[in-house]
């Protein structure tokens, strides 16, 4: 009898340990609570929103990855460990996104930086994040060989080399591209269309958008500016995502 009980415990305890349970968390930026941002369980495909105090409750287990996403904060992933369930609430710190003014384009005026000869024709145009990364990456250590004391050198390049700012800028570029991919999905489909046409349940819509934005096939279609291929890829991803949801139920 004891051996049978021991065997049953060996079988059931690991299964019970793998079950998800409610995780109480709070999203903050510095000392301030961050309200109305999405918290997505990437492995389970579930999502929720923080309340006005930054608090949320979402089913999770050790090893799950929770992603905080909104247009006001940087996208950030958090890997759930056992401490997350002992700390109440489990605090997840994010950074508020700095807003930049959109580029203003004036058409048909006849005078441009290219026509004035200020920049070469057909020169590649960079996004703000790409431009910062390009500036930081152009620094070369041997550039300073031969400089004599008293002669000015590019201060920003030195700061970048010392502080690791280039690494930070690469992360910012990745975030910018991910946000662009998400915006593109929102341009192809409304939330209602994702629910009706792709059959994604309402409570999983934002999680699916984030899931699709990280898919290499969709990113390649986006880079090629092929909306038809992008929509086809998203439709296939919807089938996979629905399967993930069913597996987790």
Cβ neighbours of 109 (radius 10 Å): 7
The fold of the 19-93 domain, in CATH, is Immunoglobulin-like (2.60.40)
Q: How far apart are CA 70 and CA 36, in angstroms?
A: 8
Question: Which part of the chain has CATH 2.60.40.10?
Answer: 19-93
Q: How much is the pTM?
A: 0.46
Task: End-to-end CA distance of the chain: give it in Å, rounded.
Answer: 34
93 pLDDT exceeds 50? yes
Banded model confidence at residue 17, pLDDT cuts 50, 70, 90: low
Q: Which of the two residues, 184 and 62, has the higher pLDDT score?
A: 62
Q: What is the pLDDT of residue 225?
A: 84
Determine how β-strand 21-29 pairs with β-strand 90-93.
Answer: parallel
Nearest in space to 191 (alpha carbons), one of 178, 181, 179, 203:
203
With a cut of 70, say whether residue 139 has pLDDT above it.
no
Find all residues with CB under 8 Å of 73, minimum gap 6, and list them.
Answer: 29, 34, 37, 94, 95, 96, 97
Poorest-pLDDT segment among 60-74, 75-89, 112-126: 112-126
């Amino acid at each position: 009898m004891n051996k049978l009980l021991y065997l049953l415990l060996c079988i059931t305890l690991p299964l019970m340990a793998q079950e998800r349970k409610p995780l109480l968390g709070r999203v903050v930026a510095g000392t301030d609570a961050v309200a109305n941002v999405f918290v997505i369980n990437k492995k389970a495909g579930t999502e929720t929103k923080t309340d006005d105090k930054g608090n949320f409750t979402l089913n999770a287990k050790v090893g799950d990855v929770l992603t905080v996403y909104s247009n006001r904060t940087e996208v950030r992933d958090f890997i759930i460990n056992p401490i997350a369930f002992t700390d109440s609430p489990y605090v997840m710190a994010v950074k508020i996104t700095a807003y930049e003014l959109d580029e203003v384009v004036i058409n048909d005026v006849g005078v441009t930086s290219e026509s004035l000869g200020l920049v070469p024709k057909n020169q590649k145009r960079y996004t703000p994040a790409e431009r910062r990364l390009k500036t930081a990456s152009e620094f070369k250590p041997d550039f300073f060989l031969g400089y004599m004391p008293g002669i000015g050198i590019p201060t920003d390049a030195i700061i970048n080399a010392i502080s690791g700012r280039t690494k930070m800028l690469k992360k910012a570029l990745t975030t910018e591209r991910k946000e662009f991919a998400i915006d593109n999905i929102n341009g192809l489909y409304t939330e209602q269309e994702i629910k009706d046409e792709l059959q994604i349940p309402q409570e999983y819509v934002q999680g699916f958008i984030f899931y699709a934005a990280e898919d290499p096939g969709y990113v390649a279609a986006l880079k090629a500016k092929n909306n038809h291929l992008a929509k086809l890829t998203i439709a296939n991803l919807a089938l996979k995502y629905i399967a993930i949801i069913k597996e987790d139920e």
